[in-house]
Amino acid sequence: MYVPNVYEVSFDPNGGTMTVYNDYKLSVTYGQQYGVLPEINHPEYVFDGWYLNNDIILSSTYVSYLGNHTLCAHWNEITDEEILNDINNWLNDNYALSDSINEDDDTNDLDDLDDLESLLESVSEDNEENQHSSNFN
């Protein structure tokens, strides 16, 4: 009778912090899917996935490595563009931005960090005006 091999998978957070304890290990069966992989985060990087050598390992990846092994977290540096995309997505989901932010085009998106700085200054000025006017009421 054939008995599939079961292996232990360790995780190297590579500077990140796993949402489970850092010594977390997963039992996997050769020829079966990895299943649920631990979540991980890093304050300065975007998680790019769990890797075995140069191969990305997903929860749906079938175990093909013979023996116990370690998956290593790969990270991508957070760029200004990614920050702006996240802010734009959040703002578009939650608020309508003033048309004055981007007078050159008809979008409400922030194009660069200068637009974000302008927006923050505008919001700060609006808050000061509202606070000042409320002092007279």
The domain defined by 6-77 carries CATH number 2.60.40.4270: yes
Q: Which residues contact 63 (CB under 8 A, 6 or more apart)?
A: 7, 28, 29, 30, 31, 32, 33, 34
- Residue ranges covered by each domain of the chain: 6-77, 80-134
Indicate whether this model's pTM tops 0.85: no
pLDDT in tens, the chain (137 residues): 888 899 999 999 999 998 876 678 999 999 999 999 999 988 888 899 999 999 999 999 999 999 999 999 999 887 777 676 777 677 666 665 544 444 454 455 556 666 666 766 665 665 555 555 444 44
**Distance from C-alpha of 120 to C-alpha of 126, rounded to nearest angstrom:** 10
